[in-house]
Amino acid sequence: MYRYGNYNSYYSSSTRRTSSRSTTARQSTPATEKQISFIGTLRDGRELEASDVEMVNRLLSQEVVSMAAASNAIEFLKAKPWKREEVANPVTEAGMYKLDTAFFKVQLSKQSGRFYAKRLVRDDGPNSFHFEYEARAIHQLRADHRLTLEEAKAWGVANCTCIVCGTLLTDPKSVAAGIGPVCAKRV
């Protein structure tokens, strides 16, 4: 299995390998229609560099594509990750979100630069909560699932807990407000 950074280097390297007799024969055999259409499907479905797309398009625009070149392209494209599905109205801000009856805290990962979500989970004890990372949640959340300050406060009053940090409210002012002053800015 060859996994090069781009199609160019992959292709030139595979071309170099085609010096044996059997592959030379394959080079003169034209690719099947199925192979050609599969290359198009892979090009559209996989996450590719612009230069890779250009290279694939150049291959497909050739009058005759050899079976060897088609196989190389398919092998190269199949090793690429799937394109991420583009969703309408994605989450673009850190904060608190509500999906059906569940609450999520969205944070930005400094490492990956991507948002991720943690679900607010109720513990066995009364008014005790913690957050648990949930990988798929960020893909289900939308910008309009954002919790309002009023919703955060109402939940906080009902559960005597700050929804942003999950801790028990003890300060009388915070108990009455349903949220702490610092966390109120982070809803």
Does 156 contact Zn ion by CB under 5 A? no
Among 77, 162, 177, 187, binds Zn ion (CB under 5 A): 162
Let me know the angle formed at the C-alpha of 71 by 67 and 74, rounded to the nearest 5 degrees. Answer: 140
Among 59, 164, 177, 187, binds Zn ion (CB under 5 A): 164
Does 157 contact Zn ion by CB under 5 A? no
Q: What does the radius of gyration of the chain's CA atoms come to, in whole angstroms? A: 27
Among 73, 91, 147, 183, binds Zn ion (CB under 5 A): 183
Does 73 contact Zn ion by CB under 5 A? no
Rounded distance, CA 17 to CA 68, Å? 11
Does 165 contact Zn ion by CB under 5 A? yes
Binders in 5-64 for Zn ion, by CB under 5 A: none
Please, what is the minimum distance in Å from the beta carbon of residue 167 to Zn ion? 6
Stretch that binds Zn ion, among 42-50, 95-103, 123-131, 174-182 (CB under 5 A): 174-182
| Lateral strand order in the sheet of 115-122 | 95-99, 102-108, 115-122, 129-133
CB 122 within 8 A of CB 113: no
Stretch that binds Zn ion, among 2-10, 46-54, 121-129, 179-187 (CB under 5 A): 179-187
Residue corresponding to tokens 């060859």: 2
Of 34, 39, 117, 115, the residue nearest 74 (C-alpha):
39
3-class state of residue 121 by DSSP: strand
> Is the Cβ of residue 70 or residue 169 nearer to Zn ion in the bound state?
169
Does 180 contact Zn ion by CB under 5 A? yes
Of 95, 91, 109, 92, the residue nearest 184 (C-alpha):
95
Please, what is the minimum distance in Å from the beta carbon of residue 86 to Zn ion? 34
Please, what is the minimum distance in Å from the beta carbon of residue 173 to Zn ion? 13
Residue ranges in contact with Zn ion by CB under 5 A: 162, 164-165, 180, 183
